[in-house]
Chains A and B, each alone.
Chain A
Amino acid sequence: MRAGGARWSLPARGSRMADAVLFEFLHTEMVAELWTPDPDPGSGGPEMSPSVLESVGFRVGQALGERLPRDIPAFREELDVLKFLCKDLWVAVFQKQMDGLRTNHQGTYVLQDNSFPLLVPMASGLQYLEEAPKFLAFTCGLLCGALHTLGFQSLVTASVAALPAWDMIDMFQVGFTRGGLQRWARTCSPPWVLLGCRLLSR
């Protein structure tokens, strides 16, 4: 997503509001200060305690879930809740809506953001993919917290792709070499973030 008419000298920042920028900078510092790599990656599962970043995000999500105006009667089904997250919550936090929402109608949802603002400022290319999980932890917590306020326990995970899923077939035509991928990544818009959200119970 590119901003129309870039008047600022800052590159590719888009139309971020000033106060949103302050949040973005704080987020960067929080990640630098608080990120700890998972000591035992094999222990993944619902019992794994959330990182500090996720916990902070959870609190913010809870507060936002309480403070954002919403029509409670309008939440007739789960999908309405997810749509609220994709529109109202995402706009409140990132000044844009989620770009895609898919579900298996069995409690699992995939939310897709084509230009996730907390990753956009990073250098493009494949190296950011390694760093990306740090910049997603807070947001995963945020979604969990908002869902909690709305009455749902949930599991939220995130992944970053250099390409949207439906372009995978083209990637094979380009040539599945690292060089090819890097050239391809550079021509793509900023990173696609997929947030997997599984609602556990009400």
Chain B
Amino acid sequence: MSRQANRGTESKKMSSELFTLTYGALVTQLCKDYENDEDVNKQLDKILFSNFLPRGYNIGVRLIEDFLARSNVGRCHDFRETADVIAKVAFKMYLGITPSITNWSPAGDEFSLILENNPLVDFVELPDNHSSLIYSNLLCGVLRGALEMVQMAVEAKFVQDTLKGDGVTEIRMRFIRRIEDNLPAGEE
């Protein structure tokens, strides 16, 4: 009986890695497909950055709906609350990690998420000369898409990455503006 329970726990852990495992496999596969191409970096950047990065945005747009349904989190009153929710609730819920929040700008419109490890790169093999920042940028698209659905235009970018030899992985979040609801004329 205890062995079955152990299996359940392991399976649960497995499913929590499925996203990172799949994304790692995706990138590895794309790298492999293009390894003989002269313009391998250009092609890969195009696939990952131009073509696929907007996919991160699409994921974010859907994810926020799921998040709001699951988490019972109320409306955030300011960017600091938003930061807390992102780090302590959303990251924990979807990726099983809790980044720390640091480096607030004096105006309170920028902060950094510090991740001990980059959660996305556990299962990927990148060519030596390829930028891991682009690989991880899917996450930035997700953050941007999700926050846009709750009326926040933000910029998210990786500024440090353990894969590149930095001590930590750091995502810089910048609040741009609040998005006003644009209701069609005549509707309430």
A68, closest chain B residue (CB): B14
Our pick among B12, B22, B65, B95 for the contact of A60 (Cβ within 8 Å) is: B22
Asked whether A92 and B14 contact (CB < 8 A) given A18-B94, A60-B21, A63-B123, the answer is yes
Residue B132 at the A interface, CB < 8 A? no
Whether B66 lies near A21 (C-beta < 8 A) is yes
Contact with A along B5-36 (1 / 0, CB 8 A): 01110111011101101110110111001000
Interface stretch among B50-58, B105-113, B156-164, B165-173? B50-58
Q: Does B77 belong to the interface (CB within 8 Å)?
A: no
Pick the contact of B15: A8, A17, A26, A27 (CB < 8 A): A17
Indicate if B86 sits at the interface (CB-CB under 8 A).
Answer: no
Assembled-state Cα–Cα distance A80/B14 (Å): 21
| Among A10, A13, A22: residue with most chain B CB under 10 A | A22
**Which stretch (A29-37, A151-159, A182-190) binds chain B?**
A29-37
- A19→B14 CA distance, assembly (Å): 10
B10 touches A69 (CB 8 A): yes
User: A7: nearest residue on chain B (CB-CB)?
Assistant: B69
The residue on A at minimum CB distance from B30 is: A52
> Once the chains bind, are B33 and A52 in contact (CB under 8 Å)?
yes
A172 to chain B, nearest CB (A): 40
Query: When A22-B94, A69-B7 are in contact, do A64 and B14 touch as well, CB less than 8 Å?
Result: yes
Q: A10-B65, A29-B59, A59-B29 are in contact. Are A19 and B96 (CB under 8 A)?
A: yes
For B29, B51, B55, B93, which residue has the most chain A Cβ atoms within 10 angstroms? Answer: B29
- B177 within 8 Å of A (CB atoms): no
Q: A25 at the A/B interface (Cβ < 8 Å)?
A: yes
Q: Are B59 and A93 in contact (CB under 8 A)?
A: no
Mark contacts of B83-101 with chain A using CB atoms, 8 A cut-off: 1 yes-contact digit, 0 otherwise: 0000000000111100000
A9 CB–B CB distance under 8 Å? yes
Chain A contributes a number of interface residues (CB within 8 A of B) equal to 34
* Contact partners of B67 in chain A: CB under 8 A: 18
Q: What's the dominant secondary structure at chain A's contact region? A: helix
In whole Å, how far is B63's beta carbon from the nearest beta carbon of chain A?
6
Report the separation of the CA atoms of residues A57 and B26 in the bound assembly, to the nearest whole angstrom.
8
User: Residue B130 at the A interface, CB < 8 A?
Assistant: no
Task: Flag whether B178 is at the interface (Cβ < 8 A).
Answer: no
Question: With an 8 A cutoff between CB atoms, is A161 at the interface?
Answer: no
- State which residues 16-62 of A face B: CB under 8 Å: 17-23, 25-27, 29-30, 32-33, 52, 55-57, 59-60
A105 contacts B by Cβ under 8 Å: no
Docked CA distance A91–B11 (Å): 7
In the complex, how many angstroms separate the beta carbon of B152 from the nearest chain A beta carbon?
20
A68 to chain B, nearest CB (A): 6
Docked-complex contact B15 and A59, CB < 8 angstroms: no
Given A19-B96, A33-B51, does the pair A27, B22 have CB atoms closer than 8 Å? Answer: yes
- Residues on A close to B: CB < 8 A? 8-10, 13, 17-23, 25-27, 29-30, 32-33, 52, 55-57, 59-60, 63-64, 67-69, 88, 91-93, 95
In the complex, 12 of the A-B residue pairs with CB atoms within 8 angstroms, ordered by the A residue number, are A17-B15, A18-B66, A18-B70, A20-B18, A22-B94, A33-B52, A59-B28, A60-B18, A63-B123, A64-B14, A69-B6, A88-B7
4 additional A-B pairs beyond A23-B19, A27-B22, A57-B25, beta carbons within 8 Å, are A19-B16, A23-B15, A64-B14, A92-B11
B residues engaging A (CB < 8 A)? Answer: 6-8, 10-12, 14-16, 18-19, 21-23, 25-26, 28-30, 33, 51-52, 55-56, 58-59, 62-63, 65-67, 69-70, 93-96, 123
List the 5 closest A-B pairs by CB distance, nearest first. Answer: A59-B25, A29-B55, A92-B14, A19-B16, A23-B18
